[in-house]
Amino acid sequence: MALRSLRWKIALNFLTLLFLTLLAAYLYLRQAILDALGLPWLPPFRAGALVARLEGQLLLTMLVVLVVMTAGTFILSRGIIMPLTALLPLTQKIAGGDLEQRIEIQGNDEIGLLSHHLNVMVETLRNNFREMAEERNKMQAILASMSDALLTVDQVGRVMLLNPAAEAMFGKKGTEVEHKYLLEVIRNHEVDKLVKEILSSGMPLEIETRLFPTTNQLFKIYGAPILSAQKRVVGAALTIRDITNIRRLEQMRTEFVANVSHELRTPLTSIRGFVETLLEGALEDPEVSRRFLGIINKEAQRLQQLIEDLLALSRLENQPQRVRPGRAKLIPTLEGVLATVNPLAREKGVNLEVEIPEGLPSLAIGENYLSQVLLNLIDNGIKYTPAGGRVTVRAGLENDGIQVEVEDTGIGIPAESLPRVFERFYRVDKARSREMGGTGLGLAIVKHIVEAHGGNVGVTSQPGQGSRFFFTLPVVTEGKVQAESPIPEKAQN
């Protein structure tokens, strides 16, 4: 429709100009004829027969010229409009986003150049959109691969973007929170204050805070301004990292260093004290010196045991891949362990009981490792069970493995201590544990040995009624048994 009106505009403008030109020519020629005949100006067809005939011929000639020029005008305008008519549907598709179109109009005139320029423009747009799509896909892949939550806001603090990690953290989709104010998404005034300071100062800032008041999770939030090409602050980007485990590990490291220092200092202080006493004259008394040397020997053995346990635990923690599965029969290994602990059990008046069925398959663990686990658990049970009590060892098939239990009728473990009994140096009763010669590492070693062999370990207890330690290990799969790595003979908790 637009091109038809354009054709009519061209035709009408040309015909109007032609009509005015012919009218001026007619008036000029008529006046020239009147002047040649010496006649004054008279209205048309009133100047006599000769002049009237000449006027008629002029008008007829003008009419013929007008008709011919009108037809020529429409023909010429059609030649101009037709290429534009061919361009219209293609340009409509391009305007609709279809950049695969190509205009096939050739020529050296302006329309040909216009077609060429349109093709170049479409190709440039197509390349630009392709590059933008590739960059968008890269950005989406980067955002999706980030383990940290990423959140961006505009210059007034409204949320623009959440990456998948942030969606999972806040339990909301990006489309749900888009254009909402940050305080509506993260109800934490510290974070809102951080963003406002970044937007006002244009400087990166960071804080550590608890985002969710109902949990103990600690988060580190780093914020940086988003700048425009004119270096104006147009928003801010926040990365949110859960550092709860990092802070917990740092606390554990601090406690570990403190515990190791304390555990080493205690026997060394004792040894030094008795040595100084001997040097000051007690050495002259054979009975006193023998008793003091016995104490020094005991403390030295405790110190040696502590160092061996630390080395064993370090190997298990730092190089679990070097722990190779072996093959061990439960009953023969247990018999060796019971032979070791029987003297202690008789001394304390504790009964040892075994409830293990015959014919259990071999466990996928080296005999030394299995003996280490059983020795620690049974030894602990004996130490914390009063005279007249009992320690029972049970075992049975469970799923694809064997579960072994060591149950005692001892003093038990408080409920608040159960989650921590497998931690290094953790003691429920520190004074009593040291008195019994424990290093606080035995149960930690048990846990690492069992988990390094694909098993799991746990404990249940009732204070005053006893404790039940249990672990599960896979059975041997033929063709997958290799030699085991040696570990220290004994580790006590």
Task: Please report the pLDDT score of residue 376 as a whole number.
Answer: 86
Predicted pLDDT of residue 1: 47
Intervals of the chain under pLDDT 50 = 1-3, 431, 480-493
Give me the pLDDT at residue 492, please: 41
- CATH class for domain 248-318? mainly alpha
3-state SS record for the chain: CHHHHHHHHHHHHHHHHHHHHHHHHHHHHHHHHHHHHCCCCCCCCCCCHHHHHHHHHHHHHHHHHHHHHHHHHHHHHHHHHHHHHHHHHHHHHHHCCCCCCCCCCCCCCHHHHHHHHHHHHHHHHHHHHHHHHHHHHHHHHHHHHCCCEEEEEECCCEEEEECHHHHHHHCCCHHHHCCCEHHHHCCCHHHHHHHHHHHHHCCCEEEEECCCCCCCCCEEEEEEEEECCCCCEEEEEEEEEECHHHHHHHHHHHHHHHHHHHHHHHHHHHHHHHHHHHHCCHHHCHHHHHHHHHHHHHHHHHHHHHHHHHHHHHHHHHCHHHCCCCCECHHHHHHHHHHHHHHHHHHHCCEEEEECCCCCCCECCCHHHHHHHHHHHHHHHHHCCCCCCEEEEEEEEECCEEEEEEEECCCCCCHHHHHHCCCCCCCCCHHHHHHCCCCCCHHHHHHHHHHHCCCEEEEEEECCCEEEEEEEEEECCCCCCCCCCCCCCCCCC
CATH architecture of the domain covering 145-246: 2-Layer Sandwich (3.30)
**Per-residue confidence (pLDDT) for residue 124, from 0 to 100:** 86
377-394 pLDDT tens trace: 998 889 888 989 999 999
CA distance 333 to 450: 16
Phi, psi at 410, each rounded to 5°: -85, -150
Report the CATH superfamily, name and number, of domain 330-474. Answer: Histidine kinase-like ATPase, C-terminal domain (3.30.565.10)
Question: What pLDDT digit, counting tens, does each position of 16-58 carry?
Answer: 877 788 777 777 777 777 677 666 666 665 556 666 777 777 7
pLDDT at 139: 80
Segment 115-170, tens digit of pLDDT = 777 788 888 888 888 888 888 888 888 878 888 899 999 999 899 988 899 888 88
